Structure 1
Amino acid sequence: MPRTAPTTLLDTVSSLGTTSGVANIIQQLSLPPVGEGVSESRVVSGSPRRRPIKRARTTGQYLALAVAGSDEDRAAMRSAVAQVHRHVRSGDHSPVAYNANAADLQLWVAACLFRFFLDQHVLLYGDLDRAELDTLVRAASPLATGVNVRPERWPGDWAAFEDYWASMLPRLAISQEVRRDFESLADLGFLGEAWGLPGRLLARLLGPAYHFFTRANLPPYFRELMGWTWTAEDQRRFDRALVALRWADRLGNRAVLRLVYRLYVADFRLRRRLGLPVLGRLRVSDVMVRDGGRRPGQRGTAARKSDRSR
């Protein structure tokens, strides 16, 4: 066990978190308006299917600013995210209505991001008491306010968070189209779409293990939504992996990961100082990314000139 209980979200960062990113995405996108919004997205510049490294950086920076940034940093990121989200709205043929800037949807995303931090700690080191959970819920507020959720809408303590989480579960569902997206993320198949042959080779090498860890990090309710099985042997295998990950933390990996978060903050501040768009150039396609919008090497036809920079 860690010597002290976590009092900030940065304290919860662990080696297990490097294996749970897609599991958390599945939780976020299991709310249909969120899942369909991402599945139908035309924002090429933010898609892991086109720019996986950039997407990993910008997501990491959002998390880093929430846990280790200043109010000024978060305000700048909030404005940049809102600009991107303006281009993610449902159309006439969308299966559900959505608007990526809607506070109700962003509150759910923020709740899932909180679970990203909390679950990686609890799975490795055990349950926290109510007072410790209350402290972490309050510390997590920037995850929500960073996407324009009013502070008063964020749960004030663990009991309120549990009530909110339970109220959302009946609203979750995963369509066939979104499930295919999840599978390509979980087995790293999307890397082949982004990078061609090198990506396909990486997916073949690392995909099976990452798919396992994605299933392992998902709470049972979400595994059932995905139609994924989980056996006693799977659990034993995961338990052995947790032992190794605890050792990785003890040998310094946790300190390295915290340093990475601080480097994300430093990079964000440098980009602002240099006048660069913190999320990079915004590129929007006429065609959904999943349908081939702006494949590598294509010239885009719908990038908004007003959003061009860097």
Structure 2
Amino acid sequence: MTKIYRMRRRTPETLDDLVTLAGLSNNAANVVMQLAIPGVGHGVEESRVASGRVVDRPLKRARTTTQYLAVALYGSERDRSVYRRAIAEVHSHVYSTDDSPVRYSGNSRKLQLWVAACLFYYYVDQYELVHGPLDEPVLDRLTVEASVLATGVNVTAEEWPQTWVDFTAYWEKSLDDVEIAPEVRAYLDDLATLRFVREPWGPIGVALAALLGRPYNFFTRGTVHPRIREAMGWSWSDAEQRRLERLMRLVGVADRVFPGSLLYRAYLVDLRARVALGRNPLGTTRLDDARAA
């Protein structure tokens, strides 16, 4: 992706310094990258956990995903332990069946390592897109810090890359496993165009998809990794790249005014309130009996 080297802010010292409005405003590109690996893609598309499916509970899924990042970036060890146990319980219901195209498990360390890598890649990519390239010593430090994105599930710190070179090697090797089946591609197309909100939200969802679907799709196609964009069958022109660059100039200005960390900290307060009230931070797990059969 062509980077836009302007509006440089201070060199990021910690992982949360990588948070930008560009990254906060479009999680769909990150999800597309995560699901580009067959085990993750089919696991999410076939998931029997109805209470966590984005197509059924879009606001809840957005809340829990952002809350996981808030816990990773700002939470205490207690916060992380609580969330880790809750995620493991939900993921225990996500596993392949005899009819699944590939074997997978929601608690697979290999698959969870890939998901965490997508999160870190996206943080770095979105920061560089808006604020310019980072030096390797900075990336080395941030790579080590980013282990919290993986250890928040059941990946160990030792399994996480310890240098930017190691991370890049892992990332490039993992891209060779990208394969998006038609049913997963249809799921992601609905996500990237906001069509998925039409059914759960009725007329409001239909109007929202019609109004924001095209710009959301543009931003998603422009910020997803090129090899994964190709696997999705999405096009991307030079003219669209220039439009994205102009948009990033505005984002760079806004990013200096509104710190994205405020949103994360609000989600952390919400988590602690739920725990204090004795509630499951992910809410009640509801399974789809038809899919569980």
TM-score by length of 2: 0.95
Give the equivalent residue in structure 1 for 2:286: 283
Give the equivalent residue in structure 2 for 1:238: 244
From 69, 83, 86, the equivalent of 2:92 is: 86
- 1:37 paired to 2:12: no
CA distance in 1, matches of 2:40, 2:81: 23
- 1:65 paired to 2:43: no
CA distance in 1, matches of 2:230, 2:166: 25
After TM superposition, give the deviation of residue 20 of structure 1 in Å: 2.9
- 1:273 paired to 2:279: no
Give the equivalent residue in structure 1 for 2:253: 247
Give the equivalent residue in structure 1 for 2:3: none
Give the equivalent residue in structure 1 for 2:4: none
From 213, 218, 221, the equivalent of 1:212 is: 218
Aligned 8 A contact 2:140 2:164 in 1 = yes
Q: Give CA-to-partner distance per residue, 1:154-180, whole Å, 9 cap, x none.
A: 000101101111111111100000000
- Structure 1: state its 5+ residue gaps: 294-301, 303-310
Give the equivalent residue in structure 2 for 1:264: 267
Query: RMSD of the alignment, in Å?
Result: 1.2
CA distance in 2, matches of 1:195, 1:140: 35
After TM superposition, give the deviation of residue 3 of structure 1 in Å: 3.8
- 1:221 paired to 2:227: yes
Alignment of 1:52-131 (within 5 A): 52-131=58-137
Secondary structure at 2:89 match in 1: helix
After TM superposition, give the deviation of residue 248 of structure 1 in Å: 1.0
CA distance in 1, matches of 2:57, 2:243: 32
AA matched with 1:90:
S
Give the equivalent residue in structure 2 for 1:48: 54
Aligned 8 A contact 1:19 1:213 in 2 = no
Aligned 8 A contact 2:54 2:61 in 1 = yes
- Identity in percent: 49
TM-score by length of 1: 0.90
After TM superposition, give the deviation of residue 67 of structure 1 in Å: 0.6
Secondary structure at 2:289 match in 1: coil
Aligned 8 A contact 2:39 2:104 in 1 = yes
From 138, 147, 168, the equivalent of 1:162 is: 168
- Structure 2: state its 5+ residue gaps: 1-6
- 1:24 paired to 2:20: no
CA distance in 1, matches of 2:8, 2:249: 14
CA distance in 2, matches of 1:182, 1:21: 12
Secondary structure at 1:196 match in 2: helix
Moved over 4 A (4+): none
CA distance in 2, matches of 1:43, 1:248: 37
